Structure 1
Amino acid sequence: MIRNDEEPVGHNALDRVTWALRRAELAVQTLKEQRLRPLGLAAAHYTLLISVHADPGLTGAELARRLNVTPQAVASLVARLENRGQVERREHPRHRHVQELHLTDAGREVLRAADKVIADIELQITGGLGPKETAQLRGLLDRVADTVRED
């Protein structure tokens, strides 16, 4: 049991860089969800579509590893997008039990519209920062990623 005079976390826990990163991530994610909703998409759908666009033929397992989600989560997203006619599964040329993911024409069309939404969010963010701060932020975020990966 925690008494009122005990601190369950450090006194500056909400001032940490990790918390600032999380707040920014949540704000951007919320905006993506709001702006993609009129297209009938969630941010996860956009992420899957652009990943398959960038690397046609990905398998569900490869996609799950790249997106850091479970294979079951990918399977559910793929099924939803497949039912909408936006992605299709094709048999792997050498491994008959493996299915590759590919965008359909409808998938490319919705991805174009969704990417415009994401590009507009990017412009909103970079416009608020300006070119110099945008470059600084990108550099700092790259350094954060590199620093975390080293451990």
Structure 2
Amino acid sequence: MDPLERVTWALRRTELAVQALKEQRLRSLDMAVAHYALLISVHSEPGLTGAELARRLNVTPQAVASLVARLEGRGQIERREHPRHRHVQELHLTDAGRAALRAADEVIDGVERQIVDSLGPDAGAQLRALLDQVAEAVREG
């Protein structure tokens, strides 16, 4: 099979195109996709540590530390001491972080609508189901 005809290549091309569109649209908020991913992760699981975030986002702890420092500098993230482990810092959104996340969610929702509108609701739901199946298949190894 031609490598460019593989499903995995189609997934990669699609991911790159979606990421580029999200980066372009989030730029109006002075936000990168990586910042959005961090904000939504901390929103979903308040109290995550940097190491936990690195695993969830599939990036290095150093990359997370840099992102956290930038968002902390913007007043969107705050570090709090872990209740049982005083050397561990938990991450939490601030009010400014929640506001930034709401604004970014509106932008990302527009990207989602653009994709689903071009496919139609039935095909959009089918694509979502197929992508869930792909994720499950690769998790099973």
- Number of residue pairs matched by the alignment: 141
Per the alignment, residue 129 of structure 1 pairs with 119
1:103 to 2:93 alignment? yes
Per the alignment, residue 33 of structure 1 pairs with 23
In the alignment, the residues of structure 2 paired with residue 109 and residue 146 of structure 1 have an alpha-carbon distance, to the nearest angstrom, of 33
TM-score by length of 1: 0.92
1:86 to 2:52 alignment? no
In the alignment, the residues of structure 2 paired with residue 42 and residue 149 of structure 1 have an alpha-carbon distance, to the nearest angstrom, of 28
2:38 to 28, 48, 51: 48
TM-score by length of 2: 0.98
Deviations 1:24-59 (A, max 9, x none): 000000000000011110000000001001111000
Question: Shift in Å at residue 139 of structure 1?
Answer: 0.9
Please, what is the CA RMSD of the aligned residues? 0.7
Aligned partner of residue 90 in structure 2, secondary structure: strand
Question: Structure 1: where are the runs of 5+ without partners?
Answer: 1-9
Of Structure 1 and Structure 2, which has the larger fraction of its residues in helix? 2
In the alignment, the residues of structure 1 paired with residue 25 and residue 129 of structure 2 have an alpha-carbon distance, to the nearest angstrom, of 27
Aligned partner of residue 137 in structure 1, secondary structure: helix
Aligned partner of residue 56 in structure 1, secondary structure: coil
User: What one-letter code is carried by the residue in structure 1 that aligns with 2:125?
Assistant: A
User: What one-letter code is carried by the residue in structure 2 that aligns with 1:71?
Assistant: P
Identity of aligned residues (%): 77
TM superposition outliers: structure 1 runs of 4+ over 4 Å: none
User: What one-letter code is carried by the residue in structure 1 that aligns with 2:123?
Assistant: E
Aligned partner of residue 96 in structure 1, secondary structure: coil
Question: Structure 2: where are the runs of 5+ without partners?
Answer: none
In the alignment, the residues of structure 2 paired with residue 63 and residue 20 of structure 1 have an alpha-carbon distance, to the nearest angstrom, of 28
In the alignment, the residues of structure 1 paired with residue 139 and residue 84 of structure 2 have an alpha-carbon distance, to the nearest angstrom, of 34
Question: Shift in Å at residue 23 of structure 1?
Answer: 0.6
In the alignment, the residues of structure 1 paired with residue 28 and residue 134 of structure 2 have an alpha-carbon distance, to the nearest angstrom, of 34
Larger Rg: 1
Per the alignment, residue 47 of structure 2 pairs with 57
Aligned partner of residue 111 in structure 1, secondary structure: helix
In the alignment, the residues of structure 2 paired with residue 121 and residue 148 of structure 1 have an alpha-carbon distance, to the nearest angstrom, of 26
